[in-house]
Amino acid sequence: MTERIVVKIGSSSLTSEEGGLSRDSIHFFASELASRHRLGDSVMLVTSGAVAAGFRRIGYASRPKAVHEKQAAAAVGQALLMQAYQEAFSEYGIVAAQILLTRADFSNRRRIQNALMTIEELLKQRIIPIINENDTVATDELVLKFGDNDNLSALVAAMTKASKLVIITDMDGLYTEDPRKNPQAVKIERVEQISEDILKLAGGAGSSVGTGGMRSKIEAARVAMRGGVGAFIGKVQSEGDLTRAVEGSGKGTYFDTKLHSLSMKKQWLGFHAAPQGKIMVDDGAVTALLIGGKSLLPAGVTSCEGDFHPGDVVEVLNRQNEVLGRGVVNYAAWQLQAAAGLGTDEVARRIEVPRIEVIHRDEWVTLK
């Protein structure tokens, strides 16, 4: 059975000890991806490594820290990275295509829909899309909200309705403790729900080359799972390891999902859109939203923050300040401040709004 898979490779897996691009690593991963391509899988690659590949070529002695220096290194390194991939894949008769994305692309529904259409056409033509953060125009620090492309890979997997997300790292999965410090640490083979306890098991970044740590990979797995995509986090270092990872016997931890893939609209709402404010709700509203599948009514609102307007995306939080989900709000902030805690009849008498629900259930995505 053929599958649609997204494979994410980080900087530390692609660079030499000196910090430059490792051609041997590129060729190894190209070989692993080509093996899945030959089996008929639709393969997408999300790769880091542009900054790591370029900083020595540009003349820096070590990985730069200033944003403009990182962006200059990425501008040089991205060309080197794609050249290496093109050469490696050509040995297997495979054409690769470059796609550069930013957070802003995902925030704009039309732009991300266009990106999806491009990826679909490339897959149809049996071309491997190679996707990376557009570092040279990113306005955030290159520690990046994408988290060394971990989050980017999850967003791509959910957007393209992939069957699996494979995040390659130098650790063979998630452990109860850092196995490099405690040999008695136990590996967690499978995770069905990512709780705060699971997140606490992950530390920070473990490499001077990359920017993502195990925590960003687990958070990416959570995004993928929420989009209906199962994830694998672990090692691919020997011939056949990628196939083993895809088929369920890989050297790592599997994150299972029983959720159905979200529509593009729901994905945009839940993961891509930039929230313009926050709405705090009482316990009754929490139950209605998370269990009852109901809309959010003014009576359940306790307060709000931000300068939002009808049609904006907002986050909804409980009394413990935990984010429950996101939705499209039907009230301006000043209107909701006046309507908070009131019954629908009273709100209808006092305030003119397009619809009485603060957030309609069709415009809502649960994230908790």
Q: Which residues define the annotated binding site?
A: 8, 48, 135, 149, 169-170, 211-217
> Which residues define the annotated binding site for ATP?
8, 169-170, 211-217
Cα separation of 317 and 326, whole Å? 9
Burial class (CB in 10 A: 0-12, 13-18, 19+), 312: buried
CA distances from 3 to 16, 106, 245 (A): 31, 24, 13
Annotate 170-234 with DSSP letters as a single string: SSSSEESS-TTT-TT--EE-EESS--HHHHHT--SB--SS-S-BHHHHHHHHHHHHHTT-EEEEE
What is the b/e burial string over 207-243, where b = at least 16 CB atoms within 10 angstroms of the residue's CB? bebbbbbbbbbbbbbbbbbbbbbbbbbbbbeeeebbb
Q: What would the two tokens of residue 310 be?
A: 């009808």
Q: What would the two tokens of residue 214 be?
A: 């195990």
* Contact indicator for 301, 336 with CB cutoff of 8 Å: yes
Q: What would the two tokens of residue 111 be?
A: 């732009």
> Which residues define the annotated binding site for substrate?
48, 135, 149
